[in-house]
Homo-oligomer: A and B are copies of this chain.
């Protein structure tokens, strides 16, 4: 289930929904929540503005979820991503994955958020509490992390 919306989401209700759907089959649920933090230690964020590409966002995230389900033994993941003006400490993104064995949920959940960061068409604009504004630039570390999922170094446990 992939949802892209402006309003806030209820992570607890979404988690409950996934548990309900898993019936007695799954015993592990891993969730990731990303929320607005200060841009840097000395640069407090006032508002984070998220622009997005409607339609492509949903399709790209769905593809990422399908890939995760084909690689690991999990139920259908839940992903919610917000756009628009988000304030300090508000939730931005939520990923939840349930599986019989915990390793599958951990890997699928981390893969989804890593891949989403480099492929889902969202762009963040920081508005600092001092008034300074700028578009956030993609971190090389994020692209490298996604590449590692597709080309793991030899010797890495799966």
The stretch of A1-9, A28-36, A58-66, A130-138 that contacts the partner chain:
A28-36
Within 8 A of B (CB), among A98-155: 100, 102-103, 105-106, 109-110, 113, 145, 148, 153-155
Q: Quick check: is A71 within 8 A (CB to CB) of the other chain? A: no
Please state if B24 and A45 are interface contacts (CB–CB under 8 Å).
Answer: yes
- Closest B residue to A117 by beta carbon equals B102
* Chain B positions within 8 Å of A145 at CB level: 103
Is A50 on the interface with B (CB-CB < 8 A)? no
**Cβ of A100: which chain B residues have Cβ within 8 Å of it?**
37
Q: Are B15 and A38 in contact (CB under 8 A)?
A: no
Can you pick out 17 interface pairs between chain A and chain B where the beta carbons lie within 8 Å of each other? A11-B15, A22-B37, A23-B89, A24-B44, A24-B88, A26-B35, A26-B37, A27-B35, A29-B33, A29-B35, A30-B30, A31-B33, A102-B113, A148-B157, A153-B155, A154-B155, A156-B157
* A-B pairs, 10 with minimum CB distance: A12-B12, A27-B37, A155-B155, A24-B38, A29-B33, A153-B155, A106-B110, A24-B37, A31-B31, A30-B32
